[in-house]
């Protein structure tokens, strides 16, 4: 990565790419960017789970149950740390950030970005 080797002064990419930094991690800050020249509304990409409107009744309830397991704070926290190293994922669920920030200070910065009221992402508790 050219940024990590010092041949360029900035890097625009996904937060999880920070795990690739070996040389410049401590000198690197994070911030959101707007993809518009007319407005300053941060854009964040998220993985999402959804249920089609055709699913009803018991099956719908089971789908919601599965989605809550998939997006549970414990699951998201486990996905955010691999081999005792942070993965720098921007989580759309607020609850995992506190525990992750206690382990890795960078998650305090990620939490501020994720919880920005202007984000075009639906945040859940």
Q: What is the pLDDT of residues 93-104, one digit of tens each?
A: 888 999 999 999
Give the residue extent of every domain in the chain: 2-114
For the chain, the average pLDDT equals 80
Global pTM reads 0.61
Q: Residue 59's pLDDT is what?
A: 95
Helical spans, DSSP H, in the chain: 2-5, 57-70, 73-79, 97-103, 106-114
Residues 6+ apart with CB under 8 A from 81: 87, 100, 103, 104
CB-CB neighbours of 57 under 10 Å: 7
Per-residue model confidence (pLDDT) at position 14: 66
33/55 Cα distance (integer angstroms): 37
């Amino acid at each position: 990565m050219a940024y990590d080797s010092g041949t360029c002064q900035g890097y625009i990419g996904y937060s999880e790419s920070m795990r690739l930094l070996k040389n410049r991690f401590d000198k690197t800050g994070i911030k959101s960017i707007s993809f518009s020249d007319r407005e300053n509304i941060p854009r964040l990409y998220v993985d999402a789970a959804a249920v089609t409107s055709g699913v009803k009744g018991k099956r719908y309830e089971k789908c919601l149950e599965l989605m809550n397991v998939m997006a549970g704070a414990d699951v998201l926290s486990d996905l955010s740390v691999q081999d005792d190293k942070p993965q720098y994922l921007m989580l759309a669920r607020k609850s995992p950030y506190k525990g992750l920030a206690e382990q890795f200070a960078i998650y305090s910065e990620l939490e501020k970005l994720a919880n920005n009221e202007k984000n075009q992402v639906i945040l859940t508790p």
